[in-house]
Amino acid sequence: MHKGLKKGIAVLAAAVLFCGSAPVDIYAANTVTISTRKDFLRFAKNCTLDSWSAGKTVVLTADIDLGRVNFSPIPIFGGTFEGNGHTISGLNLEQDGSQLGLFRYVAEGGVVKNLKVEGNVTPGGSRSSIGGIVGENNGTITGCSFDGTVEGKDTVGGIVGKNKGEVRECSASGEIHGELSVGGIAGENNGFLAECRNEADVNTEYEEKKQELGFSTGTDLSEKKLAVSEGAKELQSAKDGLTLLKRQLDDLMGREIDEELIITPPELTRTIETAPAYSEELLKTATDKNYKLKTLRRDKQQAEADSKKNDRYDGQLKASRVDMQLADVSTEEEKVNIANDLKKKLDAINTAAAEYQNKKDANSKAKIEWEQQQKSAKLGLVSAVELQALELQYEQTEMELSAAAYAYDLAWEEYNMLMNGTTLDIYDVYKSKLS
């Protein structure tokens, strides 16, 4: 027999023998096995498509550690996730958003079972429908447990934030914290709960524990203190802007630049006025007093006088007539510039007035809330940390109000300067002079 033919027969026989000993699994396409962190991250990415998981069975065959991994929650799952009693640990979700947990959504018909999850789900932003395992459940969660910290604003639960499906034989331990609709198993239940056990602290001495451990309470306060610090910088910037303008006005009046200049803090409770409506009368006032137009008028008068002198050569007379024409063109251009500048100044006043009023209202609201909570604190209804946060919030609105008042004064000062005939910009000259 030919050598090539013999070899072909041998290969064919081997293939037949292999197929006979390992029959093809017709369900392999619908079964996903997860044994490593890499497998799990690939699975999570695949679930970005809501149709991918439908009809699939996902089997966890080993414990998975998500520590030190930038993990994004599984977007949507509609198949069957079999945990086999394994643990997914190191979960740490801190991004902004809502509907957050290991799974964001479990769709109708989806099943998550026999899974243990350990970690922290403490997002920022809107923080609604927050759960240790599922943000919003429309399927079935059974035989699962969560151990760790879950924190949100509303609809917060150890297993699921918002439940519209079934939750059976699940347990939660650790810390669960929220402001509205908070539960050890489910924050809000519009479905079915059965045979579940909660061992987590739900808003129980939570703020005190966080403060002792140096968790988010300290962070929250630090952020508020930073906001106050940034507000102080903005306030100083607004004050400096008004100072620069005052320097400009003083320079026009011949005042020495090194003389002490005191900027009186604006009256915060005064009546806020909007700008007058733009009109030809306002424009006439601005143009009649404008120093550039006065200079152009004098230049034209001088050129006109020179053009009538008998002792001038023809070239000199022609130049004088050209100067007259240039003065006319420059005058018209400057009038257009003044009109546009006037409109901008009026708009700036109205914008600053609206912002001033908004900050005034916010400050008044913050003050009332702080004063009310001081009374609650005396009754033990509000923690010292919460009270300090409100005080910082009030302080921030106070500085924002002052900055808005300075900006309002600056807008009026710039308008008044234009109406008094000056548009000279010498701000940069004095920036280095200010401490």
Output the domain CATH number for residue 116: 2.160.20.110
- Asked, for residue 35, whether it belongs to a domain, the answer is yes
User: Are 163 and 49 within one domain?
Assistant: yes
pLDDT at 266: 60
Q: What is the pTM of this model?
A: 0.45
Range of the domain at 373: 220-431
Report d(CA 251, CA 247) in Å as an integer. Answer: 6
Residue 194, CA distances (Å) to 167, 169, 191, 398 in order: 6, 6, 10, 51
User: Are 234 and 258 within one domain?
Assistant: yes
- Asked, for residue 212, whether it belongs to a domain, the answer is no
Report d(CA 42, CA 77) in Å as an integer. Answer: 14
Report d(CA 139, CA 164) in Å as an integer. Answer: 8
Any bridge partners for residue 234, and if so which? none
Report d(CA 205, CA 399) in Å as an integer. Answer: 33
Our measurement of the distance from residue 202's CA atom to the centroid of its chain's CA atoms, rounded to an integer in Å, reads: 28
Report d(CA 134, CA 127) in Å as an integer. Answer: 13
DSSP state of 272: P
User: Are 338 and 283 within one domain?
Assistant: yes
Report d(CA 156, CA 100) in Å as an integer. Answer: 10
**What is the number of structural domains in the chain?**
2
User: Are 258 and 407 within one domain?
Assistant: yes
User: Are 234 and 103 within one domain?
Assistant: no
User: Are 169 and 227 within one domain?
Assistant: no
Radius of gyration of the chain from Cα atoms?
Answer: 37
- Asked, for residue 125, whether it belongs to a domain, the answer is yes
- Asked, for residue 337, whether it belongs to a domain, the answer is yes
pLDDT at 413: 82
- Asked, for residue 17, whether it belongs to a domain, the answer is no
User: Are 191 and 295 within one domain?
Assistant: no
User: Are 195 and 226 within one domain?
Assistant: no
User: Are 195 and 248 within one domain?
Assistant: no
403 phi/psi in degrees, rounded to 5: -60, -40
170 phi/psi in degrees, rounded to 5: -110, 160
Any bridge partners for residue 163, and if so which? 137, 189
The structure tokens 């991004």 sit at 95
- Asked, for residue 102, whether it belongs to a domain, the answer is yes
> Going by DSSP bridges, is the β-strand pair 116-121/80-82 parallel, antiparallel, or unpaired?
unpaired
pLDDT at 64: 96
pLDDT at 371: 82
Residue 182, CA distances (Å) to 88, 208, 378 in order: 24, 18, 26
- Asked, for residue 5, whether it belongs to a domain, the answer is no
Q: With the CA atoms of 150, 154, 157 and 161 taken in that order, what torsion angle do they form, in degrees rounded to the nearest 10?
A: -110
Report d(CA 98, CA 124) in Å as an integer. Answer: 9
Over the chain (435 residues), the average pLDDT of each successive run of 10 is 43 38 44 95 91 94 92 94 96 92 96 97 92 97 96 94 95 91 91 91 60 45 56 60 59 50 58 89 86 80 80 76 80 85 90 89 85 74 66 76 81 84 49 41
User: Are 261 and 406 within one domain?
Assistant: yes
402 phi/psi in degrees, rounded to 5: -65, -45
C-beta of residue 130 within 8 angstroms of C-beta of residue 97:
no
The structure tokens 């069975």 sit at 57
User: Are 193 and 263 within one domain?
Assistant: no
Report d(CA 23, CA 6) in Å as an integer. Answer: 26
Q: Which of 204, 231, 261 is the last residue of a domain?
A: 204
User: Taking each helix axis from N to C terminus, what angle separates 206-213 and 216-252, rounded to the nearest 10 degrees?
Assistant: 80
Burial code (b: 16+ CB inside 10 Å, e: under 16) for 7-20 equals eeeeeeeeeeeeee
User: Are 85 and 190 within one domain?
Assistant: yes
Burial code (b: 16+ CB inside 10 Å, e: under 16) for 239-259 equals bbbbbbbbbbbeeeeeeeeee
Any bridge partners for residue 192, and if so which? 166
131 phi/psi in degrees, rounded to 5: -135, 155
Reading the block at residue 328, the tokens are: 């006319």
C-beta of residue 217 within 8 angstroms of C-beta of residue 191:
no
- Asked, for residue 8, whether it belongs to a domain, the answer is no
Q: Which of 177, 204, 231 is the last residue of a domain?
A: 204
Report d(CA 301, CA 434) in Å as an integer. Answer: 41
